[in-house]
Structure formats: C-alpha cells, structure tokens
C-alpha cells in the first residue's frame, strides 16, 4: 500500500471533495455494544478459560480488540421442560431464574453471567437488561417461543408478576454481582407477528395497549423496590418505522414511564423523524440491535456483509444520531452456515474453537477509533462519518466504498494538525485493518479507496 495517496499538493482533478465541519454533528455518543444472547450462554460455559479469555479480549478490550463498552443482557424466560423436543436454536435456550411459580434459581444462566462480568472487567461500562419472553408458566401458550397465532402471549393476570420477575433479576444482579443495569426493557420486537409457538427462539408479541401496560408496570416495580439506578427503555421494534408508530400511540403516562427509546434498524426509513421525536420528548435514543449476514454463501471472508454493516453504521450515525450503536450478537453459530457476526464458533460441537470473520475487521474500523465521548461529525458525503475527541485531540474519518477504486479528498477545515502525517487503516477483500501512512497537504488529505472497502483515517494531535 502506498504511503502517499496524493500528488504534491493533494489536489487532483475529478476527486470527490469532502469538507469536515465540526458544527455538523452531535455530542453524547456513549459507545458500541453487543447483546449477549445467545452466544454468552454458550461461550460463557467453555471449559477452556484461555480460549474464553481470548474471545472476551477480542470483543471488549479496547487495545486488543473491538473495545465494545455496552452489553445487553438477556433475562431468559426459560422454556417449558415438558415441551419435547425443545425447538430453541443452539444458545437460544437461555435459562430462566423462575422455573416454576414461587421458585427462584439464582444459579441459572451461568454462561451469560460469566460473559457479562468478563465484559465489565475489560471496560464495558454500560449494561442494559432486556427480555424476549416471560417465563413459560406466565404465557398463554405455555411456551416462551410465542403464542399459537402470533398474538399476545403474556397471560392477562401476569403483567404485574412479569414486571416483578424482571425487576427482581435486576435487584439480584446489583446485590450479588455489583452490576447496576442502567436500563431495563421488557420488550423485544413486540409488535412483530412472527412470535409463534414452535419458534426457534424466545419471543413475545405485545400489542400497543399491552406494551403500555407492561412498560408502566415495570417502571412501577423498579420504583417500589428502590432501584433508582435503573430506568425503563422501550420498545425495541424490528424497524425504525414500527418503533415510531408505537411511540406515536403511547399515552403520556407511558412516555413518562421510560427514559430511553430503543429501536432496531433492520428496516425503516424514518430515522430523522424518530431522532426529532426523541429530542422533543427529552429521551435518550439507542440503536439497540442490528446484524447482517450479507448476500453471499457462508464464507468468513464475505464482503457483502461488510458492505452492509459499514453502510448501516454510517447511515444510522448520520441520520438517526443515536447515543449508542449495538450489534446483535458478536459471536454467531458456525453450524448455522451464515455470515452473521464478528466471530464464529460451532455452538453444537465446537467448544473452545472459533474463527474471526471479515465483519470483525469492518467493525474495528469504527469501534477502535470512534470512542465513547467523541463528537460525531457528519461530512457532506453519505458514505462517510467522522468523530472528534477534544480530550485526546484525535480526528477520525471512516468511509465505505462499494464501487470500484476511486479517490477522495478530505478538507480538514478549521481543524489544525500539529504534524504532516495521518494514519490510514483499511479492510478490503485482501486486507484486514491494514495500516499505512498518509500525508497532509494544505490541510487536506487525499485517500485512494479500494473497491469494496472500509477505510479509516486517524489524525492525531489536531485541534480546533
């Protein structure tokens, strides 16, 4: 890779010209994260602690790995033991803490708990708890996989009991493990109609009125138990548009019962609308779940998933402007033969073995350099995102390129670099976070973009 990607003055006819403007952006970025379901349940039970530590470092350590600092812990419902065979996917059979009404088992879910504590040991500083389904004995169908028809599955008389279950887990983790969940979400893609009995994962439909009921009950239960460090988040719909639709349907009491809007960004186009609504209501906004497997056959070097991931991150940061961006599960099941996830391990038979995927390096292009507390900047280019850390005087620009090779120039504008060089990191079909040096000419940086690539430029010792 050539160190000098420009000519003598860095100005080349026909180059894309992009200005970095510090006024175009937002503050309050809290970081990057992952849900621990379902991989935590599996990896957290590995007998080889060295291999387990390797994965923890790769995901959560800021120097050795991705530096994800946000974890979403899944409070399992626990499937009905009478249902045989169990239809839940490998890892998806997350144990519940109340296997029967009135009986608590705090030894349950050891695997996910081990991963949660290991993540926090490595610097994860924000934890959210969420639920996919109530315990099976609270459900209409008798199963955590959903109702017979995809409708509401929490029994009418169990709303207060379900809220008590969730908040009791939050209380236990605080008292027994020193983990204070900042938020608790009783919902996951609740308006979706695909949560039907026999599903391969836990899930529960909640219609709009029932969403409001469980949100208010959960907030009330937290308050009654004095769990003031934990607030409610909602609703975690599959698409931005569905999240917005639910929010528009909530009454004032419901809105006053939660502090954070969570949305997934698998689908939907109304990103700017939900951003504005969050600001009007004074709510924090998270992109709490997204994952992709691309369009190619199973291949750890798949680039289609890399391009989809990079485009989604940049689009979300530019338009949704969330305080946090959270990937679904960092480790995926190799036996599923897809391209989701940053790391693959066979959840059925592959204990203590794993492979790193190309998506891992794509995520690193963002998470290793754009850090919590950075001001996110939105250059006048839909394929680029930038960030500035005033404390460490570091400017980061990330650009993804689906097309063939092209050249792009970044004008640093009012930013004043102390030196004449910058670092470049690139992930492409042939490269994994490969580092090179760039030169700064006349406060401009010229970069050659490889086809199908994600490129990060880092300028140190730069001030406004």
Q: Where are the domains of the chain?
A: 16-23+378-463, 31-372
Judge whether residue 403 has pLDDT over 90: no
The predicted pLDDT at position 13 comes to 47
pLDDT of residue 228: 97
Tally of CA atoms within 13 A in the half-sphere of 439 that contains its CB: 12
Q: Which of 280-301 are b and which e, b meaning 16 or more Cβ less than 10 Å from the residue's Cβ?
A: eeebbbbbbbbbbbbeeeeeee
pLDDT at residue 233 is higher than 90: yes
pLDDT at 6: 40
Whether the CB-CB separation of 127 and 182 falls below 8 Å is answered with yes
Encoded tokens for 54: 């390797």
Asked if the 16-23+378-463 domain carries CATH number 2.60.40.1180, the reply is yes
The pLDDT assigned to 302 comes to 98
User: Rounded distance, CA 104 to CA 144, Å?
Assistant: 18
- pLDDT at residue 415, rounded to an integer: 96
Assign 8 a pLDDT band (cuts: 50, 70, 90).
very low
pTM: predicted TM-score of the whole model, two decimal places: 0.96
* The pLDDT value given to residue 109: 98
What homologous superfamily is domain 31-372 in, according to CATH?
A: Glycosidases (3.20.20.80)
Average pLDDT value over all residues in the chain = 95
pLDDT at 10: 41
Across 188-213, average pLDDT: 97
d(CA 31, CA 404): 31
Q: For position 3, what pLDDT does the model report? A: 39
Could you read off the pLDDT of 89-135 as tens digits, one per residue? 999 999 999 999 999 999 999 999 999 999 999 999 999 999 999 99
**pLDDT given for residue 16 in this prediction:** 84
pLDDT digits (tens, 9 = 90+) for 253-287: 999 999 999 999 999 999 999 999 999 999 999 99
Q: What is the pLDDT of residues 154-174, one digit of tens each?
A: 999 999 999 999 999 999 999
pLDDT band for position 14 (cuts 50, 70, 90): low
pLDDT of 27 strictly over 50: yes
Four-CA torsion 344, 346, 350, 351, nearest 10 degrees: 70
Those residues whose C-beta lies under 8 Å from the C-beta of residue 85, and which sit 6 or more positions away, are: none
pLDDT the model gives residue 4: 39
């Amino acid at each position: 890779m050539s160190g000098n990607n420009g000519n003598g003055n860095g100005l080349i006819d026909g180059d894309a010209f992009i200005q970095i403007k510090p006024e175009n952006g937002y503050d309050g970025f809290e970081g990057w994260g992952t849900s621990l379901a379902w991989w935590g349940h599996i990896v957290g039970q590995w007998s080889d602690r060295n291999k387990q530590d390797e994965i923890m470092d790769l995901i959560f350590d800021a120097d050795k790995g991705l530096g994800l600092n946000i974890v979403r812990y899944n409070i399992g419902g626990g499937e009905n033991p009478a249902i045989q065979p169990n239809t839940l996917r490998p890892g998806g059979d997350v144990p519940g803490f109340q296997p029967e009404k009135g009986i608590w088992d705090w030894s349950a879910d050891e695997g996910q708990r081990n991963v949660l504590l290991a993540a926090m040991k490595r610097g994860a500083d924000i934890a959210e708890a969420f639920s996919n389904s109530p315990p099976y004995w609270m459900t209409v169908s008798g199963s955590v996989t959903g109702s017979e028809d995809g409708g509401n599955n929490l029994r009418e008389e169990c709303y207060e009991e379900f809220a008590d279950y969730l908040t009791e887990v939050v209380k236990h983790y605080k008292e027994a493990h020193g983990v204070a969940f900042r938020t608790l979400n009783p919902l996951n893609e609740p308006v979706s109609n695909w949560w039907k009995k026999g599903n391969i994962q836990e899930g529960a439909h909640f219609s709009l009125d029932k969403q409001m009921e469980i949100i208010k009950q959960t907030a009330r239960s937290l308050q009654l138990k004095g769990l003031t460090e934990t607030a409610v988040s909602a609703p975690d719909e599959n698409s931005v548009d569905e999240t917005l639709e639910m929010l528009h349907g909530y009454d004032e009491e419901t809105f006053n019962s939660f502090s954070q809007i969570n949305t997934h960004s698998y689908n939907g186009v109304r990103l700017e609308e939900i951003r504005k609504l969050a600001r009007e209501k004074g709510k924090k906004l998270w992109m709490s779940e997204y994952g992709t497997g691309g369009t190619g056959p199973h291949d750890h070097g798949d680039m289609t998933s890399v391009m989809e991931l990079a485009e989604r991150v940049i689009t979300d940061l530019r338009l949704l402007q969330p305080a946090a961006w959270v990937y679904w599960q960092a480790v995926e099941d190799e036996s599923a033969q897809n391209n989701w996830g940053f790391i693959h391990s066979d959840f059925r038979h592959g204990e203590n073995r794993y492979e790193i995927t190309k998506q891992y390096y794509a995520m690193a292009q963002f998470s290793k350099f754009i850090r919590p507390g950075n001001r996110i900047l939105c250059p006048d280019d839909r394929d680029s995102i930038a960030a500035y850390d005033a404390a460490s005087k570091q400017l980061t620009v990330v650009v993804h390129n689906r097309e063939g090779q092209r050249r792009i120039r970044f004008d640093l504008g009012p930013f004043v670099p102390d030196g004449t060089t910058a670092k470049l990191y690139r992930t492409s079909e042939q490269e994994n976070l490969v580092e090179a040096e760039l030169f700064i000419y006349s406060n401009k940086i010229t970069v050659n973009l490889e086809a199908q690539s994600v490129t990060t430029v880092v300028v140190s010792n730069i001030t406004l």
